[in-house]
Amino acid sequence: MFTEYLRELQKVALLDQGEEARLWRTYKGRGDGRSRARLIEAYQPLVFKVAMHLRLRDAVVMDMIQEGTVGLIEAVERFDPGRGVRFSTFATYRIRGRILNALRRERPALLMETAVGGALDDSPLERLADPAAAETLAAVEDGVLLEQIVAAIDRLPQRERRILRGFFLRQEEPRRIAGELRISLSHFYRLQKHALRRIRDLVTPVGLRARGAEE
């Protein structure tokens, strides 16, 4: 089944910027079902990418890809192109959140083993709030909070702003950004960590910060 899925994935035609913009206009403006279906199809490789980063066992990969696809569909339906956030960024959190919630709900032991093995990759943006809390994960994947994160990035000093925009919003390689800023890679990560701490303080809900302090 997985091999067949990969064959179908290879047939997916990616979108250029103009075509994608047109599809969003026809779907969001006129409710065109064919545009919606084409957007979901074109971003199916993103579901595969997110699932593979979690390094799941073979026995559950297809189930989790199906969960991720549901997350993708939800992202397409909830996305607002006018917010200025890349759809791939918005969709990644919904896809990942859907998969992790399914693992928590159905296979907590597997999720624990995955986490211990480092497969959750401890992405700094995921640590903006407590990643152990399901309700926090739901908040992180929400488009409103993501919009707040983007706005908070704009308030950072120039170098920190460049680092977070490049790394999270445009998915550039850290070494490339460090070279542009003429800093070492270690300095890049120090600035990134400092910037993320600022962002976390700006956007993490007060109640979650208080709970984290109590723990």
In angstroms, the CA 213 to CA 20 distance is 44
The better pLDDT of the pair 149, 137 is held by 149
Q: pLDDT-derived band of residue 4, with 50, 70 and 90 as boundaries?
A: confident
SS3 31: coil
pLDDT of residue 171: 59
Contact 70, 98 (CB under 8 A): yes
pLDDT digits (tens, 9 = 90+) for 89-122: 889 988 988 888 888 776 544 544 444 433 443 3
Q: pLDDT-derived band of residue 154, with 50, 70 and 90 as boundaries?
A: confident
pTM of the model: 0.54
pLDDT digits (tens, 9 = 90+) for 114-141: 444 334 433 334 433 333 333 333 444 4
Q: Which domains does the chain have, with CATH numbers?
A: 1-121 (1.20.120.1810), 124-215 (1.10.10.10)
Q: pLDDT-derived band of residue 197, with 50, 70 and 90 as boundaries?
A: confident
In angstroms, the CA 188 to CA 159 distance is 9
pLDDT of residue 169: 58
**What number is the average pLDDT over the span 70-92?**
89
Distances (CA, A) of 39 to 16, 79, 134: 12, 11, 28
Backbone angles phi, psi at 160, to 5 degrees: -65, -35
Contact 205, 191 (CB under 8 A): no
**What number is the average pLDDT over the span 144-168?**
77
